[in-house]
Amino acid sequence: MAQKSKEEANKRLHEAGQAHAELLNQVVPLRVKVADLEDAAKASKAQQKKLEAHCVDQEQKLGKTEGELAAKVKAFNLLQAESGKLQAEVNKLQVEKEFLDKQLATKVSQIEELEKSNKELLDDMADTFEEGFKEALAQATCENPGINTSNCDPGNQVVDGKVVPLDLGE
């Protein structure tokens, strides 16, 4: 019985040894895998730190860009407001220009009417002067029947006792 127990114990020991050998055979690849995983973890940590630094850098750039964008949006809004004011001023000036153009047209029309009236008055005055001159000649001829009035014309003048054409340069 002891012998049987010993054989059985040896058999179990042998089986345990084989199981141990199999487990040892599995341990080596697992240790290699662990070492590879540790190396990968170290590489991942380095990559993670590099990515974190890159993220921080990108966040700083983003913050700076957002600040610049906000400043440009503010400047744009100010320019847009100024543009609105200038457009309102342009509209106001256009209305004022239209009003002044109408006034100018009215004044030009009035000046043209005045010039026309002035020309008509001058023509009337010239006609009246010519009629008066002819009437005066008729009266002079009537009072002095032998007088020669052939050189007498409203366009002539007396210079040094002679009747000559009127010098319009005077």
Does residue 148 lie within any of the structural domains?
A: no
Local confidence band at 75 (pLDDT 50, 70, 90 cut-offs):
very high
Q: Compute CA distances 161 → 157, 158, 164, whole Å.
A: 10, 6, 9
What is the overall mean pLDDT for the chain?
92
Does residue 160 lie within any of the structural domains?
A: no
Q: How many domains does the chain have?
A: 1
How far apart are alpha carbons 14 and 21 in whole angstroms? 10
Cβ neighbours for 136, distance < 8 A, ≥ 6 positions apart: none
Identify the domain containing residue 110 by its residue range: 2-139
Q: Compute CA distances 30 → 19, 27, 35, 42, whole Å.
A: 16, 5, 8, 18
Does residue 146 lie within any of the structural domains?
A: no
Does residue 162 lie within any of the structural domains?
A: no
Question: What are 10-65's pLDDT values in tens digits?
Answer: 999 999 999 988 888 888 888 889 999 999 999 999 999 999 999 999 999 999 99
170 pLDDT exceeds 60? no
Q: Which pLDDT value is given to residue 61?
A: 96
Local confidence band at 2 (pLDDT 50, 70, 90 cut-offs):
confident
Does residue 145 lie within any of the structural domains?
A: no
Q: Which pLDDT value is given to residue 169?
A: 67
How far apart are alpha carbons 65 and 109 in whole angstroms? 63
Q: Which pLDDT value is given to residue 154?
A: 87
